């Protein structure tokens, strides 16, 4: 079954953008020295920068220069400061005299990643957003395989950068966020504090917009570089706006990682809204709640693992979060229990976005849809073509599980390693999950294709076991996966983190199995139950299975 782009999608796109963009434009007319001239500049800015981070920063400067764009660990930046500092970084990149700027960034949330993201568009470059969890070997592999010739790197990661690699490749190193002085290296702080050094460097009038490359969260080997084009039309933005009440001038808490597809995309939407973004390099659940209260924040961009940690804060209701208009989550699967917890604490304002590094946006579930049914992943987004196919590449009927394939304007154009094939069928790309479309056009994701196991002839999705255990009293965190079995070939195993409570102390192998038995069929009952102090998670909150104890 498929849901292609239709005329009504085009109309919905127009309506969504019409409700969003004029608000941004109006904000420039009525406040903070924008005015008609700023509005008149919109076509030329769009022609030069497309829908890049540079465009949003430039237009923010034109329309709302004195509005606070960013509050991070280093203080506040207005849209004018963000634009001027980003352009200083861009001029520094141009001054290096490289035939082609191939800019790698290994940085946590804040200006240390925002400056390079915007400078990419101003200078005309390709940008590689590197996973901050990369090992020294992975960082070396990314630099060499992708011919990265400029690297912006937070100083906490410098020990992962081999001096021999720097010498061999000639990569120009710029320290991003710094916790100490670096006399022997360029730093972003020095570059933006002394813009006169490159004041005579001209930026290209029409930059050559290279690809955005986001790295897969591979746990071993060199991460796959996913190449994505800069969008010329805001179709993916329209897909968000139809279901999520983004608006101009909103104040948003951003703790989704900006180097990841979800954080990168949401950051650009926030800048397009001329929002004030509040973010920190390290996630701290209580700090997030304090920010929402103190900065009177109206939106939150998050992932399930971060939401879960917020509920672990004792007496978390002492923080005033009543101004929140929406919470939007992505990056990992929401469980029904977590949806219910979020609604109970914050009200029915939780939205969900489903997609992947290769394919960005697939579906969006509005707050109303998620409150009515916490198991849905939402309707297919505007501008996305999505089909459910069988193993032979044929469409399956409504309600029949199959493999999810899709395409939109920001779908990958390929991998930086040309030997890695793109898994395609009917002109669409496989996302790697199993799921089905119900009679209302809602996508329901069952889990990763590789995760599904067969127990005694029955298909078992570990995600269903995760969802059941997530709501069990005494369970603070859990993960389910398939393991080999001599009798049935495969069985479920679970890893459990106990709550620090009487209910957590009372958990045993049998109480875990009994709870699953009471809620699922017998073939889902775990053979192995492992109690652990914590689950090994990467920077985006996903469990790393190879690090789990046997």
- CB contact at 8 A, 238 and 361: no
Q: For residue 308, which of 525, 519, 466 has the smallest C-alpha distance?
A: 466
Most confident of 20-24, 103-107, 304-308: 103-107
Q: Which domain holds residue 163?
A: 77-232
pLDDT at 6 over 80: no
State both tokens at 29.
């007319």
**Confidence at 48, pLDDT banded by 50, 70, 90:** confident
- Of 204, 232, 260, which marks where a domain is finished? 232
Q: What is the pLDDT of residues 193-220, one digit of tens each?
A: 998 888 899 999 999 999 999 987 655 5
Is there a domain that residue 363 lies in? no
pLDDT at 33 over 70: no
State both tokens at 55.
């465009």
pLDDT at 39 over 80: no
- Please report which helix (H) or strand (E) contains residue 109, including its range: none
- Of 232, 266, 287, which marks where a domain is finished? 232
Domain count, the chain: 2
**Confidence at 35, pLDDT banded by 50, 70, 90:** low
Is there a domain that residue 508 lies in? yes
Is there a domain that residue 251 lies in? no
Task: Indicate the pTM of the whole model.
Answer: 0.87
Q: Which strands make up the sheet holding 102-106, listed edge to edge?
A: 186-187, 172-175, 150-153, 102-106, 126-129, 212-215, 225-228, 414-415
Is there a domain that residue 204 lies in? yes
Residue 475, domain CATH: 3.30.300.30
Concatenate the DSSP letters of all residues of 400-466 into one string.
Answer: --EEEEEE-TTS--EESSTTSPP-EETTEEEEEEEEEE-TTSEEEEEEETTT-EEETTEEE-HHHHH
Beta-carbon contacts of residue 13 (< 8 Å; ≥ 6 apart): 235, 238, 242, 382, 383
User: CA triplet 50, 53, 56: central angle to 5 degrees?
Assistant: 75
Of residues 300 and 199, the one with the higher pLDDT is: 300
Q: What share of the chain is helix, strand, coil (3-state, %, to 5)?
A: 35, 25, 40
pLDDT score of 139: 95
Is there a domain that residue 408 lies in? no
Report, as an integer, the average pLDDT of 512-518. Answer: 96
Residue 185, domain CATH: 3.40.50.980
Helix axes 111-123, 261-272, angle to 10 degrees: 70
Is there a domain that residue 539 lies in? yes
pLDDT at 441 over 90: yes
Is there a domain that residue 103 lies in? yes
pLDDT at 232 over 70: no
Is there a domain that residue 534 lies in? yes
Measured between alpha carbons, how far is 388 from 360 in angstroms, rounded to an integer?
17
Measured between alpha carbons, how far is 262 from 211 in angstroms, rounded to an integer?
17
Q: What is the pLDDT of residues 358-396, one digit of tens each?
A: 877 899 999 999 999 999 999 999 889 999 999 999 999
% of the chain beyond a pLDDT of 90: 72
- Of 174, 206, 232, which marks where a domain is finished? 232
């Amino acid at each position: 079954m498929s849901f292609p782009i239709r005329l009504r999608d085009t109309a919905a796109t127009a309506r969504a953008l019409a409700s969003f963009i004029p608000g941004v434009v109006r904000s420039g007319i009525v406040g903070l020295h924008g005015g008609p001239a700023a509005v008149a500049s919109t076509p030329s800015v769009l022609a030069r920068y497309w829908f890049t981070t540079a465009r949003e920063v430039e237009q923010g400067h034109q329309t709302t220069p004195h509005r606070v764009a960013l509050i991070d660990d280093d203080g506040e930046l207005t849209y004018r400061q963000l634009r001027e500092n980003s352009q200083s970084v861009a001029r520094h990149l141009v001054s290096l005299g490289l035939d082609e700027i191939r800019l790698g960034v290994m940085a946590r949330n804040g200006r240390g990643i925002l400056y390079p993201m915007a400078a990419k568009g101003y200078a005309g470059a390709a940008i590689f957003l590197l996973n901050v969890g990369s090992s020294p070997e992975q960082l070396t592999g990314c630099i060499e395989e992708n011919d990265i010739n400029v690297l912006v790197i937070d100083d906490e990661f410098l020990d992962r950068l081999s001096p021999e690699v720097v010498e061999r490749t000639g990569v120009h190193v710029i320290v991003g966020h710094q916790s100490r002085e670096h006399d022997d290296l360029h730093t972003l702080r020095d570059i933006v504090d002394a813009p006169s050094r490159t004041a005579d460097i001209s930026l290209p009038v029409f930059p050559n917009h290279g690809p955005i490359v986001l790295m897969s969260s591979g746990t071993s080997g060199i991460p796959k570089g996913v190449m994505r084009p800069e969008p010329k039309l805001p179709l993916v933005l329209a897909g968000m706006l139809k279901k999520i009440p983004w608006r101009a001038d909103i104040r948003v808490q951003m703790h989704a990682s900006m180097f990841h597809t979800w954080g990168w995309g949401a950051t650009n939407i926030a800048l397009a809204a001329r929002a004030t973004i509040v973010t920190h390099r390290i996630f701290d659940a209580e700090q997030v709640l304090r920010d929402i209260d103190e900065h009177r924040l109206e939106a939150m961009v998050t992932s399930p693992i971060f939401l879960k940690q917020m509920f672990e804060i004792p007496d978390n209701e002492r923080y005033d979060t009543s101004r929140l208009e929406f919470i939007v989550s992505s990056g990992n699967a929401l469980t029904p229990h977590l949806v219910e917890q979020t609604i109970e604490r914050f009200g029915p304002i939780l939205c969900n976005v489903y997609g992947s590094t290769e394919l960005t946006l697939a579906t969006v579930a509005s707050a109303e849809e998620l409150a009515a049914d916490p198991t849905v992943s939402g309707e297919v987004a505007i501008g996305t073509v999505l089909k459910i196919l069988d193993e032979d590449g044929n469409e399956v009927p409504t309600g029949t599980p199959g493999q999810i394939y899709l395409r939109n304007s920001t779908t990958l154009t390929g991998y930086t390693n040309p030997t890695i094939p793109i898994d395609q069928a009917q002109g669409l790309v496989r996302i790697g999950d199993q799921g089905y479309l119900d009679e209302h056009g809602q996508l329901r994701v069952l889990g990763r294709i590789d995760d599904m196991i067969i127990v005694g002839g029955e298909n078992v999705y570990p995600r269903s076991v995760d969802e059941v255990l997530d709501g069990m009293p005494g369970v603070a965190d859990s993960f389910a996966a398939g393991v080999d079995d001599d009798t049935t070939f495969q069985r479920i195993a679970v890893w459990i983190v106990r709550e620090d409570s009487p209910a957590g102390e009372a958990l045993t192998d049998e109480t875990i199995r009994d709870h699953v038995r009471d809620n699922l069929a017998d073939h889902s009952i775990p053979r192995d139950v492992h109690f652990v102090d914590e689950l090994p998670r990467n920077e985006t909150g996903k469990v790393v299975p190879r690090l789990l104890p046997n």
